[in-house]
């Protein structure tokens, strides 16, 4: 059984072990103990001390195998991006050109330097250990964050973005970087990725502000604009099912797509329910699978069954109650693990 909970200082070694196989592309969680230690401190402070509204808090969560204590996944939410240090992207624009005199039509794609000072919230830093990757664990890790947002709605902006990992190979090679980035930054891609975590300002200092016409780039560099890494495809599908859409922005270094959604329209937030535990069953109970979380300040989430009682309130299993440290009388927030399939689509599948 797995739980998802806020990261703690004691998790540093476990996080370092988890990230050993992360390869290139997990920009926000480099394999640097000092950087990770600092980010864990910021996360702990974010959970404990919050203003009346979003102020750039950085919440990191870990997925823990309950009976071994092993960390098998990590994810994060930033309540608001931008501020003193802006976030940088390219805005993708497509224009149609036509010459009637020679009967030619074409489309020109250009990338425009774009930065956000007063931005939306961001979900980020999603990584699941390769040995634990399946549709259930990945979905649980991704969607559990939305129950935290739902429970703490006033601490987050009204929109949320997700910058997805672009097409970079295991050795850190990016065709877009080779065609664009290295000409301006004069460093290799992994180094730029690492420096981006420490200080983003060098991007604005070195990157020209004029548009980049992608039609002039090598074909392999053109192809990766707006594409995601193959390991990120499942995460992209999950977010799209929840209501995320392409924002028109891509990353600066390896131009993966930036997805966006209105927070209150996200399925896992919109459909989540709060209820009181009236019964804890000694044996397992049968129902559809739900993502269940505590409603107090000590966030903790697990997968389990929830049954609505005719007398009011809900029944959960003893295993779920123990995992989430819940008792009769406590409240839970829960949502269906998967979106409901419309009747017409379900009929077609049969």
What would the pLDDT profile of 59-91 be if each residue is shown by its tens digit?
A: 999 999 999 999 999 999 999 998 778 899 999
Q: How confident is the model at residue 134 (pLDDT cuts 50, 70, 90)?
A: confident
Enter the tokens of residue 70: 């092993």
210 labelled catalytic: no
The pLDDT value given to residue 164:
94
Residue with tokens 């309130």: 313
Q: Flag whether pLDDT at 172 surpasses 80.
A: no
Ramachandran bin of 117, using left for φ above 0, alpha for ψ from -120 to 50, beta for the remaining angles: alpha
Q: Are 209 and 88 in contact (CB under 8 A)?
A: no
The pLDDT value given to residue 340:
81
User: For the chain, how big is the Rg over CA atoms in Å?
Assistant: 22
* Mean pLDDT score, 192-196: 79
Instruction: Between 103 and 28, name the one with better pLDDT.
Output: 103
Q: How confident is the model at residue 348 (pLDDT cuts 50, 70, 90)?
A: low
State phi, psi for 266 to the nearest 5 degrees.
-65, 130
Residues 6+ apart with CB under 8 A from 230: none
| Domains observed in the chain | 2-267 (3.40.630.30), 271-336 (2.40.40.20)
Q: Flag whether pLDDT at 271 surpasses 60.
A: yes
Q: Flag whether pLDDT at 208 surpasses 90.
A: no
The pLDDT value given to residue 26:
73
Q: How confident is the model at residue 24 (pLDDT cuts 50, 70, 90)?
A: low
* Mean pLDDT score, 245-257: 94
Q: Please state, rounded to an integer, the average pLDDT across all residues of the chain.
A: 91
Q: Flag whether pLDDT at 346 surpasses 60.
A: no
Q: Could you say which of 129, 173, 210, 229 is catalytic? A: 229
Q: Flag whether pLDDT at 349 surpasses 60.
A: no
The pLDDT value given to residue 342:
60
The pLDDT value given to residue 199:
77
Q: What is the 3-state secondary structure (H, E, C) of 295-342?
A: CCCCCCEEEEEEEECCCCCEEEEHHHHHHHCCCCCCEEEEEECCCCCC
The pLDDT value given to residue 65:
97
What would the pLDDT profile of 292-345 be if each residue is shown by its tens digit?
A: 999 987 899 999 999 999 999 999 999 999 999 999 999 999 999 999 866 455
* Mean pLDDT score, 190-201: 79
Q: How confident is the model at residue 194 (pLDDT cuts 50, 70, 90)?
A: confident
Enter the tokens of residue 116: 């956000």
The pLDDT value given to residue 321:
96
Share of the chain above pLDDT 90, in %: 72
Q: What is the DSSP letter of 207?
A: S
The pLDDT value given to residue 30:
86
């Amino acid at each position: 059984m797995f739980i998802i909970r806020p990261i703690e200082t004691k998790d540093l070694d476990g996080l370092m072990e988890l990230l050993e196989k992360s390869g290139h592309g997990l920009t926000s969680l480099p394999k640097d103990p000092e950087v990770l230690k600092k980010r864990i401190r910021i996360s702990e402070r974010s959970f404990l001390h919050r203003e009346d509204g979003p102020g750039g808090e950085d919440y990191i969560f870990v997925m823990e195998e309950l009976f071994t204590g092993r960390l098998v996944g990590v994810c994060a939410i930033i309540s608001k991006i931008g501020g003193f240090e802006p976030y940088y992207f390219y805005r993708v624009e497509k224009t149609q050109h036509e010459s009637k005199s020679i009967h030619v039509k074409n489309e020109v794609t250009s990338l425009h330097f774009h930065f956000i000072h007063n931005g939306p919230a961001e979900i980020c830093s999603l990584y699941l250990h390769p040995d634990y990757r399946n549709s259930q664990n990945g979905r649980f890790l991704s969607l559990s964050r939305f129950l935290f947002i739902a429970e703490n709605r006033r601490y987050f902006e009204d929109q949320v973005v997700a910058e997805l990992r672009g097409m970079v190979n295991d050795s850190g090679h990016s065709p877009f970087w080779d065609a664009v980035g290295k000409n301006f930054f004069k460093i290799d891609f992994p180094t730029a990725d690492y420096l981006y975590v420490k200080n983003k300002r060098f991007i604005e200092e070195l990157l020209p502000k004029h548009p980049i016409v992608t039609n002039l780039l090598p074909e392999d560099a053109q192809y990766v604009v707006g594409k995601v890494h193959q390991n990120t495809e499942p995460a992209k599908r999950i977010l799209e099912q929840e209501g995320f859409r392409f924002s028109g922005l891509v990353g600066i270094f390896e131009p993966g797509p930036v997805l966006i959604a209105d927070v209150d329209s996200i399925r896992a937030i919109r459909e989540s329910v709060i209820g009181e535990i009236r019964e804890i069953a000694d044996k397992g109970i049968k129902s559809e699978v739900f993502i269940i979380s505590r409603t107090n300040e000590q966030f903790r989430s697990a997968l389990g069954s929830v049954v609505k009682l005719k007398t009011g309130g809900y029944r959960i299993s003893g295993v779920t109650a123990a995992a989430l440290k819940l008792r009769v009388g406590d409240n839970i927030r829960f949502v269906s693990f998967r979106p409901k399939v419309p009747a017409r689509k379900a009929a077609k599948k049969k």
